[in-house]
Chains A and B, each alone.
Chain A
Amino acid sequence: MGITFRKETFRDDFTFRNSPEHIRRFPFPFHEDSYMYAVNIEPHVVGPKGSVLENLIDVDEHYVAEMQDRALVLAEDPLRCQSLPHMTLAGWDLLELLMEQQALGYPEHFTLERNGDRWRWINRPLGIDDTFTFGDTSTLPYGPMEYITRQSQGDFCILDQRDGNLWMDAGMVTTQADWSLDFDIGMNFFEWHAPVPLAHEKGIFVRALKFLINIQQGKPARRLNWTMTINPRLDTSPENYHKWGPDRTTVTPENVGDKVHLRVELQSFWRLPRSNGIVFPIRCYLIKMDELVTQPKWARRLHRVIRDLPEELATYKGLTRFRPTLVEWLSKLDDGSPTSSGFGPD
């Protein structure tokens, strides 16, 4: 049985919704009633059936709509997808990884046939059936990274490893939480994280880099990150901040449940075999408050996390304007009873 792909939008009329099954599988990012940065990296191994970790590259009911939204972003602003000249081989590595993983996890939707360097890729949800020569860019309609990431949910950064550092030298970034690939491309790990508050002082990035440069082939790792977004908008880029920023002034006690979304990034890290680069998929999951609070444990916990969040983090995540309204709304769903440990709903 295949996935039923929803027809929905992430802009204008914002018809994005999660089905009841997708609400239960949402990767809720808080395992306790408070939040602070940590090097929360763990092995990226397959998780329980019915969770977002059932497959290492997750395809869900939003796939087709997300790919349509990506195409709209790229038509408006091609600079969201860039690759420095030395990164083409890493692009082929990524194409192989994503085709293999999607075909493995979802054989009813994707098929990869290999005959030496002649590959045939069938993507049924998007109506694609292409035959090409692996390694020969002239046989694809786009560069290898752009080709496959127009067919894969989430943003993708490809990092080159040299001089004991990781360099953001290629990426497809259309669903980002307010950072600019066009500005950050070519920067090293510390430079592109420079604007993040508090974490540098805690030594987070030094330890994270040490971990990442030692990632081995076939042993990917993952972590969760989160923020909040008003309306289910994927493209919250700084490029368009002057267009989506006013949304943050529209939150009222009456519309919190519909407008305010928890935005969770499932970030994973994979060593690429030919280029020795690392690909860093940033998969974005959205859930509106009305959907999230159908799980009482999540409602209680989110209330405590948002209420007690340090001011610098609230500012960095852009919550300042609507935090009081949100906390007041969530407080009515928090009876003060304890929450069970762990991420999942009760």
Chain B
Amino acid sequence: MAAKTIISRPIYGTLSPQPGKHHLFIADAEGALAIADMAAKAPSGFFEGAEIVFIPGPDGKYVAALEALKPAQFHTAPSFASLLPRLKQTLTNAHMGLRLYLAGTEGLIGQAMQVALEAGIDHTSMQTEHRGSLARRMQCVHCKGITENVTTQPATCSHCGLLLLVRDHYSRRLAAFQGVCINAEDRSEIPPMEEAFP
């Protein structure tokens, strides 16, 4: 987490079991550990009404740990994009009282929240826990392209190639931080690129 922050920057919490019959968990990579930690505090039978969808990442870790929780439904997906159609249907068909838990990288939490917001779920009702990489999803304010997994400051826009300052200003609607050209006034100024969001 950045030491100095601003109000639009999301604040994440720690997952905790919520009252309700239906629980939907969306997680990637180390986000699985947040679910496992929460399971230790959950009442017995909690996962009988739970669905876990999980994007394991390249090393394929943690799948067995989540299966061991014996959720009513368990699904793994290779990427968020591949998960999207299923997630949209689940949220469209969801009844009042569905509880949502998002855990893992900021990019995963942000994109899952974006889909849930579009389905009419209030962001303050969602449980979130950040685990794993600090990599950011960034929108270039100039060309509007989204660059995934930004780890450096500044960062190059993967669409238009401008060198961007990755701001803390964050849009839930876009699920992205804002990137603004860092040397717009004098393009010959090239600040060093540092690993800022490992």
Q: Taking beta carbons and an 8 Å cutoff, which residues of A are in contact with B?
A: 79, 180, 182-187, 190-195, 200, 238-242, 245-246, 248-249, 321
Contact = CB atoms under 8 A, between A and B. Distances in A.
A241 B184 contact: yes
Nearest to A192: B8
B88 interface: no
Interface residues of B, number: 23
8 contacts: A186-B172, A187-B172, A194-B7, A194-B168, A195-B6, A245-B185, A246-B184, A246-B187
Interface string B99-142: 00000000000000000000000000000000000000001011
Interface of B: 6-9, 139, 141-142, 144, 162, 167-169, 171-174, 178, 180-181, 184-187
A251 B173 CA distance: 38
A132 B16 CA distance: 55
B140 to A, nearest CB: 10
Contacts, number: 64
A183 B184 contact: no
Contacts of A249: 185-186
A246 B184 CA distance: 6
Nearest to A77: B144
Contacts of A184: 171
Given A187-B172, A239-B141, A246-B185, 19 more contacts: A79-B144, A182-B141, A183-B141, A183-B178, A186-B172, A186-B173, A187-B8, A187-B171, A191-B7, A194-B9, A195-B169, A200-B7, A238-B180, A239-B142, A240-B142, A241-B181, A241-B184, A245-B181, A246-B186
Task: Among A79, A194, A200, A240, find the residue whose CB has the most chain B CB atoms closer than 10 A.
Answer: A194
Contacts of B142: 238-242
A168 B25 CA distance: 30
Nearest to B174: A183
A26 B12 CA distance: 47
B141 A238 contact: yes
A182 B173 CA distance: 10
A327 B167 CA distance: 30
Contacts of A194: 6-9, 168-169
A183 B6 contact: no
A191 B184 contact: no
A240 B144 CA distance: 12
Most chain A CB atoms below 10 A, which of B180, B184, B185, B186:
B185
A193 B172 CA distance: 15
A186 B171 contact: yes
Most chain-A Cβ atoms within 10 A of its Cβ — which of B8, B162, B174, B186? B8
A231 to B, nearest CB: 14
Contacts of B187: 246
Contact of B169 (A183, A240, A241, A321): A183
Nearest to B167: A195
Nearest to A230: B185
Contacts of A195: 6, 8, 167, 169
Nearest to B140: A239
A315 to B, nearest CB: 13
Contacts of A79: 144
A242 B181 contact: yes
A207 to B, nearest CB: 15
Contacts of A185: 173
Contacts of B9: 194
Contacts of A186: 171-173
Given A191-B7, A195-B167, A195-B169, A182 B185 contact: no
B158 to A, nearest CB: 16
Contacts of B181: 241-242, 245
A43 B113 CA distance: 40
A183, A240, A245: residue with the most chain B Cβ atoms closer than 10 Å: A183
A-B pairs with lowest CB-CB distance, top 3: A245-B184, A194-B8, A245-B185
A168 to B, nearest CB: 11
